[in-house]
Amino acid sequence: MRIEAARASDLAGIRWLLEYEYLPSEDVTEQLLDHFLVCRDEKGVVGAVALEPCGKHVLLRSLVVTAELRGERLGSRLAQAAEVLAERRGSKAIYLLTTTAEKFFAARGYRAVPRTEAPLQIQGSSQFSRLCPSTAVLMVKP
């Protein structure tokens, strides 16, 4: 299954996947779509991830795989594709917030850091400032 840049027609499918998992979707707009990678099958979007630019930093967010396809490495491949993108953009570190997948990311080289250590641009993102609960763990790689 190929990982590709998202298109306008993927917006509803991405939002549906996120909403189904109770992940923030209200700021997933056409503008943010430019920063999404997706996997599709014949029915539509089955996996997604975004790399949101926050000043000179990047926030990996909205990683989701449809329940039927979990455990087949799609989540790992999406995370890796986002990391390749981050490297191409010259980002030195990738930040993320999670309430559900700390172990998944820890197994992929991310470490938890105090939220107070987030760069200001990351703190200013809608995920950090409004949409993710204050209990969400901040992680960074490397």
Ligand X SMILES: CC(C)(COP(=O)(O)OP(=O)(O)OC[C@H]1O[C@@H](n2cnc3c(N)ncnc32)[C@H](O)[C@@H]1OP(=O)(O)O)[C@@H](O)C(=O)NCCC(=O)NCCS
Q: Which of residues 19-38 bind ligand X (CB under 6 A)?
A: 21, 23
Strands 57-65 and 94-98: parallel
Angle value at C-alpha 2, between 31 and 81, nearest 5 degrees = 60
CA distance 115 to 22: 22
Q: Which of residues 96-135 bind ligand X (CB under 6 A)?
A: 98, 100-101, 103-104
Least separation in angstroms between residue 100's CB and ligand X is: 3
**Tokens representing residue 117 in the block:** 């250590």
Least separation in angstroms between residue 4's CB and ligand X is: 17
Residues 2 and 39: beta-carbon distance below 8 Å:
yes
Least separation in angstroms between residue 105's CB and ligand X is: 7
Q: Which of residues 36-95 bind ligand X (CB under 6 A)?
A: 63-65, 70-76
Binding site for ligand X (CB under 6 A): 21, 23, 63-65, 70-76, 98, 100-101, 103-104
